[in-house]
Amino acid sequence: MKFRTFMGFVGPSLFLMILFIAIPLVSVFLGSFQVTQPVMEQVEVESCTAGFLTQNCTTELRSQPVLDDNGQMVTTTEWVGFLSYARVLEPERAWQAIRSFDYAALMQIDFWAALRFTLMFTLVTLPLVIGVGLAIALAVNNAARSIRGPIIFVSLLPFIITPVIGALAIRWLFIGDGILTRGLEAWLDQDIAMFAQAWTIELLMLFYRVWHVAPFAFVIFYAGLQTVNQDTLESAIIDGASRFDRLRYVVIPHLMPLIIFISLIHLMDAYRVFEEIVGFRAQAHVISLQWLTFDFLSPDDAGNRAFSRANASAMLTMVGIVIILIPLLRRTWRDHKGSSH
């Protein structure tokens, strides 16, 4: 293929990737080493008490931002190195808590509390999504052809629902006098408050993520099951292999590239968990790295946003994604090199 023809196909995608991925990424990276602050000035403000004959006036100095001709705040940008990262990580405070084995003190630091939940959420849901998706795929593949269509349709419904809407639906089922909460209270004969403590909220978020994402794994696995070598399966049956042995030694090795693909997609998506925090309104008990970045970008009482810390938090999140993807990427690279020789 000529280079000109190749660029005709690849050029538009490459341009969009540079425009919407590379340039924003470089901007965030550079912004994490900068601090932008409004220029402040001291002004004299006179305040007088009510009254006529006994009116008292006092003058005091107050700080206020400098405005330009258009009424916008004048700001200055300063290179501060890793200061924003230090403000997010709070390394001295974190190291002191780790050295004294004070887990509660470490969890008082927002970044480490968010990292703890993000890692737990990602690593717990990964095997559950793969296991549930594979189980559904095997069940559908072995079901009668007449009922496969309805089963596939019902199984895909959770994946079709918008993430925030799905999280809100689960929340409404359990919060306060929700239908499922009332049912559990009647069954256990005791009051239940699912949103009063962190661990129950985390359980609901884990359940929701598996319920929402497992259909994606199911579709991929179901397609992969259609390509399993039937001669190999028949040979295994003739040799006396049980259903579990056929699954372990024939089906799963055949589906391993798909398992790695689903793992890559899920790890990248779950490590950026955000919709569950918003949908379950869990930020008072549980926060994630993505929500922490959002919180830094939310204006405070004075209308200021911590852009530098938000950029640092976003970069730390990306570094975390790369680290957890390295084992899968190395395995993929080894498999690719092995198949090419």
Residue among 41, 42, 35, 32 at smallest CA distance from 76: 35
103-340 CATH fold: MetI-like fold (1.10.3720)
pLDDT in tens, 12-54: 888 888 988 889 889 999 999 988 877 777 777 777 776 666 6
User: What pLDDT digit, counting tens, does each position of 9-22 carry?
Assistant: 888 888 888 988 88
Instruction: Grade residue 4 by pLDDT with cuts at 50, 70 and 90.
Output: confident
* pLDDT tens sequence across 197-225: 888 889 999 999 999 999 999 999 999 99
**Where are the domains positioned within the chain?**
3-48+56-81, 103-340
Distance CA 203, CA 194 (A): 9
Amino acid at 134: L
Which is more confident, 9 or 68? 9
- The pLDDT, as a whole number, for residue 340 is 60
pTM of the model: 0.83
The DSSP line for 56-97 is -EEEEEEEEE-B-TTSPBPEEEEE-TTHHHHHHH-HHHHHHH
Tens of pLDDT, residues 122-158: 999 999 999 999 999 999 988 888 888 888 888 888 8
